[in-house]
Structure 1
Amino acid sequence: MIAKHVPMRSLGKSDFAGLMNYVTDVQNKDHRLGQVQVTNCDAVSVRDAITEILATQHTNTRAKGDKTYHLIVSFRAGEQPDVDTLRAVEERISTGLGYREHQRVSAVHNDTDNLHIHIAINKIHPTRHTMHEPYYPHLALADLCTALEREYGLEPDNHQPHQREAASRAADMERHAGVESLVGWIKRECLEEIKAAQSWGELHQVMRDNGLEMTPRGNGLVIRADDGTMVKPSTVSRELSKPALEKRLGAFEASPEQGERKQAKREYQKKPVRSRADTTELYARYKDEQKNLTAARGEALAAAKRRKDRAVADAKQKAATRRAAIKLVGGGRVSKKLLYSQASATLRAELDGIHKDYTREREQLYEGHQRRQWADWLKQEATQGNSEALAALRAREAAQGLKGNTLAAQGKAKPGHAPVIDSITKKGVIIYRAGRSAVRDDGDRLQVSTGADRAGVVEALRLAAERYGDRITVNGTTEFKAQAIRAAVDGRLAITFADPALEKRRQALLQDNFSATRKPGVPGVGKAPPPVARAGRLRSLAQAETLQIEAVAVTQQRPASAPTPAPSELARRKVKLQAELSAKKENANQRKGRGR
C-alpha cells in the first residue's frame, strides 16, 4: 500500500468542486466507482457536501495556500480489501495527518490495475477556521502505511523513495504515458559512459556521441537533447551535479566549438518504452493522428456547424410558411393571434432542440479529438477492438500477471456469448461486467473481485471455458475455491477442475444433486407417450407397462403403535389383491368384446 499526496502546482487550479467531479465521475463505467464516503459534514449527499465545504473554505480569507488536500491511497495489484478495511484505512491515514476533525470526501476507484482511494480533505477546520498543513507528510504516510499493512495483513510495499522528486516524476511519466523520458533514456543508454569520463573534454565527447549537450544554466548545469528537451544532471544522478563534477574534473570547461558536427551514435527520441512487442507501425499511426488532430477536429466542427445552420434555416422556413398559411386563413383577430403564438412557440422549441443537439455534438467531437498520451491512445484503440493495441499494452514491462482469486484454463475452448467490456487498463487488463461484480482478464487468467456473488463466479467460469478451455485451474483462498465448485455445480457448467481434490468434490456434489432430484427405481417422465398409446385410444389397467405391484410395496399407513400383521395375514391380503386384479382384467376384456 502506498499513500501519496498530489500537490496542486497552480493555486488557481485548486478547486474542491472540480476535484470531486473527477473523483465521483463514473465515466460511463459500471465498476469504476466504489464506496463514496462523506465525513464530518452535516450534508448527506456529495453535492450538498461540496457546497458545505466550499462555504467553510470561504470563511478563511487570510490563507494564501491551497485549501484542499488531495491524497491517493493505492494498494498492490491483486489486493482487494473489503469495505470495512477500506473505511478503517481512510480514517487512520486522515487522523495520522492531523485531519481527524476536518471535512473530507473519499471515493474508491476500481477501473485501474491497482485499487485506490481518492481522499479530498478540506484543510480549513470547520469550527476554528484555521488551515492545517501536515509537517513532512511523506514520512508520516510511510509510517502509517507500514503499520496498516501489518495490522490488516496487506502485502508490504516500499514506502521510502529512492529517487529525487524530478526523477520520480519522470518515472511516473514513463509509467503512465508509456513514452521514454530523457532521464530514463540517459540512465539506460549512456549513464555509465558519462560517469567514466576523466576530463571535461571526454565528458563533452560522450555527450556529442549520444546527441546530448551539457551547458551552464544559472548556478548549475543542464543536459539538452537535440529536440530541445532539457534535464538537470543531478536529476539523472547525484554524481553529475555541478559540485560533484567540479570536484572530480576541476573547474567547468565549456564544450569547444566544432565546425562540423559528427553523426551521433545514438540520440534521444520520444518513443514507446521498451516492450516485448514491435510497436513501430502503431506508434507511427499514433504520431500521424496527433499531427493531424487539430485539422481533423476543425473540419468536423465546421461540418457540424453547417448541419446546424441548415437545420435552423429549415426550421425558420417552415415557421414562415406556417405564418403565411395563418395569414391566408380566415377568422377573427383573436384566433389568428393564438395561431401566431403557437407557431412562435413551435419555432422556439425547434431552435432550442437544434442548439442542444449541436452543443452535444461539439462536446463529443472535442472528446473524440482530444490529444492523448501513447498509453491512453492504445487504451482507446483496444476498447474499439484493435487486437494489436491490446497486445502492445500487455507487452509493456510494467504489465504483470493477475494475482489473488484467479482462474486459468486449458483444453478446448467453447466460444459462446460475447461479454460486455466495462473498461481496459493501461496494462491491457480487460474488465468485464459480471452481474454486480467484475471479472478481470489479462490474456492468461481471470480474476474475480473479492466479495463477488455466485452469479459473478459462474460468469467467470463460463468466460474462462469460452476463451481458454474447459479444464479450469483455481487459485486463491479456500473460500473462493469452494465458491467456484458450488458455482460450477449450480450453473451446470461443462467444465472440469485441474485439481483432483476440487474435481472429486464437484463430482460428489453433482451426484448428490442427481440423487435429490430423482428417486431410485422411478423412471423419469417422458416428453412423448409410448408407441402403443399413440393411436388415440385408451389402454386398460392390465396394459399399463409401468404398473408393478409387489407384496412388499402394498402397505398401509398406520400409527406407530399399531401391531405388525402376522405372516398369514400378509398372505391373505396378497391372495385377495390378486383376485381383485384378475376380476378387473376380466371385466375389461368383456367391455372390450361388447364394444366390437
Structure 2
Amino acid sequence: MNIIIPPKRRDGRSSFVQLVGYVSVRDDISLKDEIKEDPRFKRPARARGKVFERLVEYMNRTENLAESQLISVDARGESRVSVDGVISQHNLLSFESAASEMSGVSKQNDRIKDPVYHFILSWQEDENPTDDQIFKAARYALRCMGMQLHQYMASIHRDTDNVHVHVVANRVNPLTFKAVSVHGDADKMQRICRELELKYDFKVDNGSWVRDADNQVVRAKRGYKKAPRGAATLEHFGDRESLYTYAVTHCRKDINAMFRDKSATWDRIHAVFDRAGLKLERRGEGMIVRDRFNPGHTPIKASRLHTSMTLSRIVPKVGDFVPSPLNDADVHDKHVHAAYNDQLHMRDQGARQDRRIARAEARQQLKDDYQAYRKSWVKPDLRMAERFREIADSFRVQKVRIRHGEGDPHMRKLMYNVVEFEREKAMAGLRIQLKAEREQLREEGKARPMSYRVWTGQEALKGSQAAVSQLRGWAYREGRKNRYPTRTEDIIHCAPADDTPLLKADGFTVRLHRDGAAVYSRQGRDSIIDRGDSIEVYQPYDGRAVNTLTAVNMMQWKSGELGKFDGNGLFVATAVGAVAEHNLYQARQISVTDTYQRGDVEKEIGNIQSRKASNAYYEELAQARYEQRLRDERRYREEEEHKPTNRGTFKP
C-alpha cells in the first residue's frame, strides 16, 4: 500500500477550495467551446462551511448530497453509511451535518489557516482489502498522527484500478481546540504504511521505510551500484579503498548533475576529474578513468562511473572527445582538491548512511518528545477568578456585618461606601499583581509552550546529542557559517555533520550557541569552537598550546572519516605532534586522513620512540656520572678529615 498526500500551497494559505479544485476541476474543456451557464464555472464560496460541504460532495461522488443509508454504529459511536454506493465512516453526529460540525469546531481556533487534513491510502491493483481492514487502517493512521479524538470522515472508492480510501480530518481538537501539527507527515505516513502492511499482511510497496530481515520497520538505504569484482575483492579482503569507490564518491554526483542540467562540456567534465586527482582518457572505442599521480593503478571504465559516460552517448551531446588540457606535470594544488590513496583503510561505505539514518531516527524521536511535551504542557494557573472571588466574598461578609450591626442608616451608608472603596482598592491591587505575575511568566517563558527550536536548545543544554545535532542541522541548512567570516585560520576539518555531545575539558567552560556550535572558553576567552564538521582553535600557542592539545583530543570522539589540519605551520606541527603522542600512548586512536600529515604523524611517532630510547641511554649515563660524583665527594671529605694540620704550633 502507499500514501498520497495532495499538494497544497507553500505559503500556508491553502484551503478547501484548492483541495477540491485539485481533484474535481475539469481540465479537458477546450477554449473554443461556447460559454454556457454552468454551475461548475462559478467561483465557489470560500466560507469554511461551504468548503467542507464541497469536500464531502466530492468524496461521495455526487454533486447534490443524497440521502445517506445508515449501515451500522459501533461501540465508539462511529457510524458507517452508504451514499450512492460509496461506503463512508465518520465519528460525527450525522452524515448530513458533517460539514457544519467540522466548520463549527474549526472556527474555535482562529489562528489556524488550514484546518483540514486530507490524505489517501491506496492499495495495489491485485489487492482487494475488506471495508473493515480499510477503515481500521485509516483509524490507525489518524492515531499515529495524533488525531485519534478528532473529527474525521473516510470514504472508500472502488471504481478505479487501485482500491483507495479518502480520509479527511479536522486538525482542530474538538475538546481542547488545539491544532495538530502535520509537519513531516509524508515520512510518518510511509512508516505507517509499512506497519499496516506488516499488521494486515498487505503487499509490500516502495517508500522511505522498508522491512528488514527481522520484519522490523527501518529507513530505506540508498546505495551506489555494485562495484566491479576486482574493486569489491580489494575492499573486502585487502581493507583498502578501491579507485572505483573513490571516483564514485568524488565525481559521480557532479557528473550526474551536469547531464541532468544538460550543461555538460568536455572542459567541465575534465575539471571534475582534475579536482579529484583523476584523469579521463580515451582508450580504444571507449573511455577510462585513471589515477593522475599513479598511472600504475588499474583504471576503471568511465561507463562504470556513470551510464552516460560512453562515446556513443556523449559525443552526440558535447561533440568529439577532447583530451584534458592539463598535463600531469602541470597540475597544481589549485586544480586538485583531493587525491586517491590506496593505503587508506576501507571503512564501511555505508557508515555515513548509517549515521544519517541514526540522526534521522534520533530527530524523529526528538520531535515525538516535543509533541509529548506540548500535549502534557499545562499553562500555570494564576487562580484569577478564585482570587477575585475571595476578595469579593471577604468584603461581602463585611457588608453583612455592617447591615446587622449598625442601626443608624446614615452611618451604615457611610460604612458601605468605605467598604466599597476598600474593595475597589483591593481589586485594583490584585489586577496589578496579576499583571506582574503574567509578565514574570512571559519573561520566564512559561506563559506559552516553548517553540520547537527553543525547546531543542533547552534539551541540548541538558546533554541531548540529538538536540545538538538538530541545532547544527539547522545551521548547515541556513548557511549561517557563510554569513560571518571565520575569526581564525587554525582549523581542524572533520566529516560533514560529525556531531558529538558537549564534552568536559579540564580548565574549560562550555556553552552552546543557537546554531549548535559548542564554545569552549578558558580564563574568560573563547578558545575552541566545535561546529561539528570543523573545530576552530583560537590562541593556539597560549599556555603551552593547551588549546591546540585539547582540540586535538576532541578528535578522538569524531567518526574518523575525515581528519585534517589547516592553518599556520606551527599549529599544524603542534597538532601533528599531539596526535603522535596520543596515538602512541592511548588506546582510542585519532585518525588523520591527509596523506602528508599522516606521514608526518608516523614520522613523529618514530622520533618519539627514538628519543625515548636515547633518553634511556642518557639517563643511565647521567646516573653513572651522579654516582661517580658522589663517590668523589665522599673520598674528598675523608681525605680532608685525615689531613694533618699545623694549628697551635709556634713558628719562629
Question: What TM-score bracket applies, with the shorter chain setting the length?
Answer: under 0.3
TM-score (norm 1): 0.27
